[in-house]
Amino acid sequence: MASQGNTGHEVYYVPESSKLAVCATIGLVLTIFGAASGINDGTFGDPNESTNSWFIFWVGLAFFAATLFVWFKTAITEHLAGKNSAQLKRSYVIGMQWFIFSEVMFFFAFFLALFYIRWFAAPWLAGEGDAGRSNYLLWGDFSYSWPLMQTPQDAIGGVANQVMANNGVFSGPERSMAFPGFGELFKWLPFYNTVILLTSSVTVHWAHHALLHDDRKKFHQWLTVTVLLGVVFVGLQILEYYEAYAHYGLTLETGVYGTTFFMLTGFHGFHVAMGMIMLLIQLLRSVMKGHFTKDDHFGFAASSWYWHFVDVVWIFLMLVVYIF
Amino acid sequence: MGAHGPAKGLSRWLFTTNHKDIGSMYLWFSFAMFLLGGSFAMIIRAELFQPGLQIVEPEFFNQMTTMHGLVMVFGAIMPAFVGLANWMIPLMIGAPDMALPRMNNWSFWILPPAFALLASTLFMEGGGPNFGWTFYAPLSTTYAPPSVTYFIFGVHIMGLSSIMGAINIIATIVNMRAPGMTYMKMPLFVWTWLITAFLLVAVMPVLAGAVTMMLMDIHFGTSFFSAAGGGDPVLFQHVFWFFGHPEVYIIILPGFGVVSQIIPTFSRKPLFGYDSMVYATASIAFLSFIVWAHHMYTVGMPIAGELFFMYATMLIAVPTAAKVFNWITTMFKGSLTFETPMLFSIAFVFLFTVGGFSGLMLAIAPADFQYHDTYFVVAHFHYTMVAGAIFSMSAAVYYWLPKWTGKMYNETMGKTHFWVSFVGFNLTFFPQHFVGLAGMPRRIPDYNLMFADFNMMSSIGAFIYGASQLLFLFNVVRTITHGEKIDDPKVWDGAHGLEWTVPTPAPYHTFTTPPEVKESEAHG
């Protein structure tokens, strides 16, 4: 490849026409349509009538996944063929950085919801401040505490409760997932998840460090450890959800505590799973194909940025969902 | 690679990675959506031609106002400017193409199915979305028709398209500028798009979050927007407008950029106050994040909130006024000519300022208690959306069409389009200020007799404006098929910038190696 100098410039590689985008569109649209109609069947449909919505969803998803596989494979092949100039590699770096920023903003929406509910909405329902003056008319016996163990609907009881239940029943949980105090720290599952995820951020850094020193063996070791920690994290979170549903009476439908708890930790867990798959793919690329060199390993670097990002989100979750 | 031309037939468009092809597809798609959203508007205005219910059922009327807003905002205006960005940014900064060409094609191709999904809801059981384009809970959750699920996923796809498009634009501008094209030499259209793209990446995910919360409330028993479970319907408005207010700048900033290109050309003077234009754009973008609750003065916010959002909103007038003064000062003592793009641009400056002033009135919290949800609001935002975004878009098409096609449009027809649009637009929306101030609520199919005359004027204006868009379509098609051929790279004698250094029509591939940026070609 020509180097970038004062006289000549590298040619920026613009791929020939490509079928990837159209295939990805077909896959995505089938996936989304299948999901939308499947969800609608569940809520509004006749339970005795079988539909093929979820079949469309799975076919679409499989096709979409296959397309993405080919897409990444194409990009990697082009890279290995030396088509990607330093400038084009920077485009990938910028793309990944801004993609992570967009993910940050997605989580921001849910944190915004949590803060709004905890600082404003729920205290107002309990009669706090000027905005709470309608409390005695609507939600007389409701008092605010977080985690919200008793919903406004629970608090009013009687006929009003019956009327309201026509729009859905929101009854508070029996127990919450909140921090139980230092005495019970070691019986508290999120403590282990915190240790696991923070450790995995360190191990992925060590893997990166090993790669920078061309120590392939240590790179594989630490990356494997990172992926396994990710698996354990997701496993423990599934266990936590099982506990919540089976023994805590804590579900999506137990008012706004259950809502924010499951949505925030759920989206985070989904992102951990995605990050884990990304890192696993990088591991397989290195083990099976010998990809990456010490100064050229964007696929791994991007995945590790993503991994650090889910780690940072977890720290915020720990603080505002579990502890405070 | 390099010199090859476009493929033949449909596969050229389906499989293309070329920024000019993708730009053209965006532009044609957005025009199709403009006509679709426009036809919904015609139904609305036909119903409102006189008091009483004559043409459509109220339930269908609600679907029309909702779909009109959604299709125009997400289908017409946003993709139109993305199309312009695709065509012009690589040409303006001396790049061979967009930074990520295959993703660019994907960003476009997921849009048509998303809008097909959205439009198909009109034929579903229970009808299409009927809760207004702002889809406030609980209208859009507890009381929504089942088709809302398709609406939600449609919005997800549109958001995905916007985010990918925006990331592509950021990567292109940050990474693909020709040597010598420093940030402060970039044409203002490129600057405004860089800032717009930042806003898109920042707020489209928040919209995705809002519709996801709706989905969960509707189908999975969560209580984000239900007070019975400890949530709050007002939460929806906060999340929505945290997206929604930056969104209005996403719509208008590229228009600012277009006008900042056109006015210097036809004034034959460099843009006055280039640096201040850049800083003003950045200030507007920053302020747009801290003013969202001015859409919600009447929901019962604490007084401290009302005051904060009132003052923050009024602050936006400062950088916006700086821009208006700069445009006017650019024209001052210029050697002005009034070709069609210039006419649209001057109308933009004038009419957008009218919209800005009514915005300032709406920003005053106690006054907004009177104006809220009246036709005054409708008049206000159509002065910014139509006379702002759409007029600047029309200006852009006339300005760059010769460069795109190598043919000159017919000036008489262009001017006719302008004057008919101008009269039609003002006849439609100026009277709406009066009926709004007199108390006519928005989003209703019937109204008090005392509003009859102004509404009839409004409807006649709307039909004129609608018809003028068919003239626009005719002009563009006629230019492509029968336009007078030109080969002057510069097209307009006052034009500056790299896009005017490539041949006319612009070849399929331009700047495969970066050009040298001369001082005279930097922003002018």
Helix (H, G, I), strand (E, B) or coil at B442: coil
Q: Where are the domains of chain B?
A: 10-511
The token duo for B7 is: 């493929």
Q: Is A123 inside a domain boundary?
A: no
Give the other-Cβ count within 10 Å of B179's Cβ: 13
- Give the residue on B whose Cα is nearest the Cα of A9: B513
Does the CB of B290 have a partner CB in chain A at under 8 Å? no
pLDDT at B31: 98
Work out how many domains chain A is built from and give that number.
Answer: 1
Q: Is A60 inside a domain boundary?
A: yes
Q: Is A10 inside a domain boundary?
A: no
Catalytic option among B21, B217, B247, B521 = B247
pLDDT at A16: 83
CB nearest A32 (choices: B16, B157, B213): B157
State the amino acid at position A91 in one-letter form. S
Q: Is A266 inside a domain boundary?
A: no
Q: Is A149 inside a domain boundary?
A: no
DSSP type of residue B374: B
Contacts of A95 in chain B (CB under 8 A): 99-100, 103, 167-168, 171
Helix (H, G, I), strand (E, B) or coil at B214: helix
CATH topology of domain B10-511: Cytochrome C Oxidase; Chain A (1.20.210)
pLDDT tier for residue A170 given thresholds of 50, 70 and 90: confident
Per the annotation, the verdict on B134 as an active-site residue is no
Contact across the interface for A9 and B514, Cβ inside 8 Å: yes
Interface of B with A in 300-329 (CB under 8 A): 300-303
pLDDT tier for residue A5 given thresholds of 50, 70 and 90: very low
Residue A8 has pLDDT above 60, yes or no: no
Closest Cα in chain B, distance from residue A222 (Å): 32
Does the CB of B9 have a partner CB in chain A at under 8 Å? no
Burial class (CB in 10 A: 0-12, 13-18, 19+), B293: buried
CATH number for position A72: 1.10.287
Contacts of A254 in chain B (CB under 8 A): 229
CA distance B201 to A98: 7
pLDDT at A122: 93
Q: Is A287 inside a domain boundary?
A: no
CA distance A201 to A226: 8
pLDDT at A4: 39
Average pLDDT of chain B is 95
Q: How distant, in Å, are the alpha carbons of A104, A112, A194, A309 from that of A271?
A: 11, 19, 15, 9
pLDDT at A290: 93
pLDDT at B520: 65
Average pLDDT over residues A155-173: 77
Give the contacts of B50 (CB within 8 A, at least 6 positions apart): B452, B455, B456
Average pLDDT over residues A255-277: 97
Contacts of B127 in chain A (CB under 8 A): none
Contacts of A148 in chain B (CB under 8 A): 230
Share of chain B above pLDDT 90, in %: 95
Does the CB of A33 have a partner CB in chain B at under 8 Å? yes
pLDDT at A169: 81
Contact across the interface for B170 and A42, Cβ inside 8 Å: no
CB nearest A152 (choices: B15, B227, B239): B227
A135-144: pLDDT as tens digits = 878 888 889 9
B100-141: pLDDT as tens digits = 999 999 999 999 999 999 999 999 999 999 999 999 999 999
Residue A266 has pLDDT above 80, yes or no: yes
Helix (H, G, I), strand (E, B) or coil at B441: strand
Residue A48 has pLDDT above 90, yes or no: no
SS (H, E, C) chain A: CCCCCCCCCCCCCCCCCCCHHHHHHHHHHHHHHHHHHHHHHHHHCCCCCCCCHHHHHHHHHHHHHHHHHHHHHHHHHHHHCCCCCHHHHHHHHHHHHHHHHHHHHHHHHHHHHHHHHHHHHHHHHCCCCHHHCCHHHHCCCCCCCCCCCCCHHHHHCHHHHHHHHCCCCCCCCCCCCCCCCHHHHHHCHHHHHHHHHHHHHHHHHHHHHHHHCCCHHHHHHHHHHHHHHHHHHHHHHHHHHHHHHHHHCCCCCCHHHHHHHHHHHHHHHHHHHHHHHHHHHHHHHHHHHCCCECCECHHHHHHHHHHHHHHHHHHHHHHHHHHC
When scoring B102, B157, B217 by the number of chain A Cβ atoms within 10 A, the one with the most, hence best to mutate, is: B102
Q: How distant, in Å, are the alpha carbons of A61, B46, B70, B225, B234 from that of B137?
A: 30, 29, 16, 7, 8
In terms of pTM, does the model score above 0.90?
Answer: yes
Q: Give the pairing of strands B407-408 and B484-485.
A: antiparallel
Average pLDDT over residues B323-348: 97
Q: Is B94 left (phi over 0), alpha (psi -120 to 50) or beta?
A: left
Contact across the interface for A12 and B224, Cβ inside 8 Å: no
Catalytic option among B106, B109, B133, B150 = B133
State the amino acid at position B72 in one-letter form. M
Whether B218 contacts B147, CB under 8 Å: no
Residue A1 has pLDDT above 60, yes or no: no
Interface of B with A in 187-216 (CB under 8 A): 201-206, 208-210, 213, 215-216
Does the CB of A73 have a partner CB in chain B at under 8 Å? no
B484-507: pLDDT as tens digits = 999 999 999 999 999 999 999 999
The token duo for B316 is: 């936006």
Residue B268 has pLDDT above 60, yes or no: yes
Residue B346 has pLDDT above 60, yes or no: yes
Q: A16 — phi, psi (to 5°)? A: -60, 170
Rounded to a whole number of angstroms, the distance between the first and last alpha carbons of chain B is 33
pLDDT at A137: 80
Burial class (CB in 10 A: 0-12, 13-18, 19+), B188: buried
pLDDT tier for residue B205 given thresholds of 50, 70 and 90: very high
Give ipTM to 2 decimals: 0.95
pLDDT tier for residue B518 given thresholds of 50, 70 and 90: confident
Share of chain A above pLDDT 70, in %: 94
Q: Where are the beta strands (DSSP E) in B325-429?
A: 407-408
Share of chain A above pLDDT 90, in %: 77
CB nearest B206 (choices: A11, A99, A109): A109
pLDDT tier for residue A3 given thresholds of 50, 70 and 90: very low
State the amino acid at position A12 in one-letter form. Y
A53-71: pLDDT as tens digits = 999 999 999 999 999 999 9
Per the annotation, the verdict on B68 as an active-site residue is yes
Closest Cα in chain B, distance from residue A150 (Å): 9
- Give the residue on A whose Cα is nearest the Cα of B197: A98
Contact across the interface for A17 and B11, Cβ inside 8 Å: yes
pLDDT at B5: 72
Share of chain B above pLDDT 70, in %: 98
Contacts 24+ apart (CB under 8 A), B303-308: B303/A130, B306/B365, B307/B365
Q: Is A292 inside a domain boundary?
A: no
CB nearest A14 (choices: B1, B205, B229): B1
Q: Is A51 inside a domain boundary?
A: yes
Does the CB of A164 have a partner CB in chain B at under 8 Å? yes
pLDDT at A140: 80
Average pLDDT over residues B48-66: 96
Contacts of B170 in chain A (CB under 8 A): 94, 98
Q: B475 — phi, psi (to 5°)? A: -55, -45
Average pLDDT over residues B149-177: 97
Per the annotation, the verdict on B268 as an active-site residue is no
When scoring A170, A254, A257, A270 by the number of chain B Cβ atoms within 10 A, the one with the most, hence best to mutate, is: A170
Catalytic option among B161, B192, B405, B421 = B161
Residue B4 has pLDDT above 90, yes or no: no
Does the CB of B124 have a partner CB in chain A at under 8 Å? no
- Give the residue on B whose Cα is nearest the Cα of A126: B230
CB nearest A168 (choices: B7, B171, B226): B226
pLDDT at A121: 93
Average pLDDT over residues B278-298: 97
- Give the residue on A whose Cα is nearest the Cα of B163: A102
Range of the domain at A25: 15-83
CA distance B293 to B313: 9
Average pLDDT over residues A112-128: 93
pLDDT at A6: 38
A186-239: pLDDT as tens digits = 989 999 999 999 999 999 999 999 999 999 999 999 999 999 999 999 999 999
Closest Cα in chain A, distance from residue B519 (Å): 18
